[in-house]
A and B are shown apart, each in its own frame.
Chain A
Amino acid sequence: MAADAAAGSAVARPQIRVEGVAKSYSGRTVVDVDELVLGDSPIEGLIGPNGAGKTTLMRMIVHAVPLDRGRITLQSPAEPDLLLSAMPTDRIARHGVVKSNQLITDFDRLTILDSLLFAVTEAEREKPYRIFSERAVFARHREEIERLLDYFGLVDATAFAKSAGEKKLLDIIRCLILKPRFLLLDEPTAGLPDDITEKVMHTLRELAAAGTTVVIVAHDLNVIWNLCDEVVFMAEGKALLRGDPQSIREHRTIVEKYLGEGHV
C-alpha cells in the first residue's frame, strides 16, 4: 500500500489525474495524454470521433489496459492519493473506481440475481469454508437489489439477462450497486429504450449529488448535453478541449471535425 500512496490531496470530490499517459498498438498511438483531470465537475463527458482513444483511456484508468508510460492517480477528499496505474483492476474497483463496459458483457451462467449478489458480496463471505452464508448475504442486500430491479423494470430476478439491452442495463446496475466513488460509464445508454435511459440519467444525477464523480463516454450526444456539467473533447488520442456543454457544442473546430454543421 505504501507504494500506492502519494502526497495527500485537498480536492472537493474524487478526481482522477492522468499524467503523461500513452498507449500504442503496433506502432500506432491510440492514447497520448499529457495532462488531464477528470472530476472537476460532478458529471463529465468524454466525446470525440471513433478512434479518439476514449474507451482505451477509460480502460487504462481501471488498468484493464496496461500503460506504455505515465501515471494515473485517484485523489479523494481527506485521503492520500492512490496510484491507480500501479494497481490491478480488482483493487482499483475495491477503492471505489468502477467502470461499465462499452461492449455487451455478462456472466453467461449466472442469473440477474446471482450477478448482483456477486457484485455486492464481501470477500470474507466468499471463502470456501463459508458455504452456509448465502442466505445471510441475500438478507443483507435484498432490499437494495429489489429496489434497483423494480426501478429499472427487471421483473424476473432469477432469470438470465437475455437481450443485449437487459445485459447492458444489468452492467450499469452492477456498477451502481457497488456504490462507487468514481464511476466511469462507456456508452451506458446504447441499446436502452428511452424510458430506461431517462431512469439511468436520473440515477446518475442522484449519484453525483451524493458525492460520486461520474465520467461518461457516449456517442449519444443528447445524453452528454443533458447530463454533463463539463465535456472533454478527444481526438487522435489527445484531450484537446474542455468546457461546459454549450461552449463545446458551439466550438468551431469541434463542429467542423466532429459534430458537423446543423447538429443538435
Chain B
Amino acid sequence: MNLDWLDAFLVFGLFEVVMVIGLALLLHLQLGLARIANFGVVGFWGLGMYAFGVSYVRVDWPFGEPWQFLVCALIATGVAALAGLLVGWYVADLDTDGVLVGTLGFATAVAILATTQQELTGGALGMGGLGFPYDIGTVKANEFLWLVITTLLVAAILFFVWRVHRSPYGRLLIAVGANEPLARSLGKSTFRAKIGLFVVTSAAMGLLGAMFGVMVRFLDVLNLGVDITLAAIVGLVLGGTARVWGAVIGVVLTVGLFDIVVQVYLPLPREWHTQAIPVLREALFGLALIVVLLFRPLGVLGKMRRDRLMKKVHGR
C-alpha cells in the first residue's frame, strides 16, 4: 500500500480524534443522560492501557498474534469493567460533588500506581515492547490500518449510543439523571442502573486505552494526566452533552481543530511541539469550556429533543 501522501502526524492526530470521540460518547451516556459527572475518564482508559500493556509484555503467552492481542485486550476490558463496578458502587449514592471527587481520586490512584509499580509498568521510564497484531509492511501502513480498526470500533460505540437513545435503557438513564427519587418510587433500582452504566462504559474506555497502547507501542505515565479527561469533557460540553452527535461535533471542533489543523498544518517551530503546544492546548481547552458554559451552556447542538424522537420512533 502506497501511503506516501499520508503524513505520519496526521494519522496519529486522526487516531487521537477518533479515540477521544469514543471516550466522549461514553461520557455522554454518563454525564449527558444519567448526569453522573465522571472526572476520572483517564483512570479507566489508563487502567485498560496498562492492563493491556502488562499482560502483553510481562506474560509469556503460549500463542502468537492476533490471539495475544485479543486475549490481552479482553483482559484490559475486564479489568476496566471491574474498576467500573467498584468505582460505580462507591459513587452511586454520592451527590455530584462526591462523584466528581471520587472519580478524580480514582484516576489519580491509577496514575500513582502506574508510576510506582515499576516492575510491572516500567514506572516513569515507561514500558515498550508492544506491537500491532499484524504486519502489513511499513510502520505507517500498520498505523493507518490501526486507525481504520479503531474508527470501526468507535463507529460501533456511536451506533450503540444512538440506539440507547431509542431504547428503554436510554429512558432509564435519562430518568435516573432527571429525577432519581421518582424513578425509585416507580420500582426502578437506580443504584443497579448506575453501577451497570459504569461497568459498560468503563469496559469500553479500557478497550480504547488498549487500542491507544497498541498505536503508541510505548506506555508512558505522562499519558495519565488530565489531558484525556479534559479533551473528552470539553469536546462533549462544547458539542452538547445531551445529544448523540454532540460528542462527535465537539471533539472535532476541539481536538480535531487543535491536534490536526494546528499541529499538522500550521508551520510552527519544532520545539513548540514538545514545550509550548501541550500547555497551550490545555489552556485553550479550558478557555473553550468557560466560553461555552457562559454563552451556550447546552453546547452547539442544544437540548435533548425527546418530543421529536418519540414522534419519530412511535409515529404519533
Q: Does A35 make an interface contact (CB < 8 A)?
A: no
- List 7 A-B pairs, minimum CB-CB distance, nearest first: A93-B187, A131-B163, A107-B178, A158-B310, A94-B187, A131-B167, A89-B184
Residues of chain A contacted by B171 (CB below 8 angstroms)? 110, 114, 117-118, 121, 126
Query: Quick one: closest A residue to B310, CB to CB?
Result: A158
Q: Given A94-B187, A114-B306, A178-B186, output 19 extra A-B contacts at Cβ < 8 Å.
A: A90-B187, A98-B187, A105-B179, A108-B178, A109-B177, A110-B306, A117-B171, A119-B186, A121-B171, A123-B189, A126-B169, A126-B188, A128-B169, A131-B167, A134-B168, A137-B168, A157-B316, A158-B314, A159-B307
Residues of chain A contacted by B303 (CB below 8 angstroms)? 109
How far, in angstroms, from A88 to B181 measured CA to CA in the complex?
A: 11
Q: Does B101 make an interface contact (CB < 8 A)?
A: no
Interface residues in A112-150 by Cβ distance below 8 A to B read 113-114, 117-119, 121, 123, 125-128, 130-135, 137-138
- Please, how many residues of chain B have a CB less than 8 angstroms from a CB on the other chain? 39
Q: Does A106 make an interface contact (CB < 8 A)?
A: yes
Query: Quick one: closest A residue to B161, CB to CB?
Result: A131
A130 with B187: CB separation less than 8 A: no
If A98-B185, A108-B179, A111-B307 touch, does A117 touch B196 (CB 8 Å cutoff)? no
Q: Does B172 make an interface contact (CB < 8 A)?
A: yes
Shortest Cβ distance from residue A148 to the other chain B in the assembled complex, whole angstroms: 15
A178 with B307: CB separation less than 8 A: no
Residues of chain A contacted by B242 (CB below 8 angstroms)? 109
Identify which of B187, B193, B242, B314 gathers the most chain A CB atoms within 10 Å of its CB.
Answer: B187
Q: Does B311 make an interface contact (CB < 8 A)?
A: yes
Query: Quick one: closest B residue to A62, CB to CB?
Result: B185
B184 with A88: CB separation less than 8 A: yes
How far, in angstroms, from A88 to B187 measured CA to CA in the complex?
A: 10
Residues of chain A contacted by B313 (CB below 8 angstroms)? 134-135
B310 with A113: CB separation less than 8 A: yes
Residues of chain A contacted by B166 (CB below 8 angstroms)? 131, 134
How far, in angstroms, from A11 to B186 measured CA to CA in the complex?
A: 25
Identify which of A64, A118, A130, A132 gathers the most chain B CB atoms within 10 Å of its CB.
Answer: A118
Residue positions of A touching B, CB distance < 8 A: 62, 64, 88-91, 93-94, 98-99, 101, 105-111, 113-114, 117-119, 121, 123, 125-128, 130-135, 137-138, 157-160, 174, 178
B182 with A89: CB separation less than 8 A: no
Residues of chain A contacted by B163 (CB below 8 angstroms)? 131-132
How far, in angstroms, from A94 to B169 measured CA to CA in the complex?
A: 18
Residue positions of B touching A, CB distance < 8 A: 160, 163-164, 166-169, 171-172, 174-175, 177-179, 181-191, 193, 196-197, 200, 242, 303-304, 306-307, 310-311, 313-314, 316
Residues of chain B contacted by A119 (CB below 8 angstroms)? 186
Residues of chain A contacted by B182 (CB below 8 angstroms)? 101, 105-107
Shortest Cβ distance from residue A128 to the other chain B in the assembled complex, whole angstroms: 5
Residues of chain A contacted by B175 (CB below 8 angstroms)? 107, 110, 118
Can you give 19 contacting A-B residue pairs, CB < 8 Å?
Answer: A88-B189, A89-B185, A90-B188, A93-B184, A107-B174, A107-B183, A109-B178, A114-B171, A114-B174, A114-B306, A118-B168, A118-B171, A118-B175, A121-B172, A123-B188, A125-B168, A127-B196, A137-B168, A138-B314
How far, in angstroms, from A80 to B184 measured CA to CA in the complex?
A: 24
Identify which of A111, A132, A135, A137 gathers the most chain B CB atoms within 10 Å of its CB.
Answer: A111
How far, in angstroms, from A158 to B307 measured CA to CA in the complex?
A: 5
Query: Quick one: closest A residue to B181, CB to CB?
Result: A64
Residues of chain A contacted by B193 (CB below 8 angstroms)? 126
How far, in angstroms, from A174 to B175 measured CA to CA in the complex?
A: 13
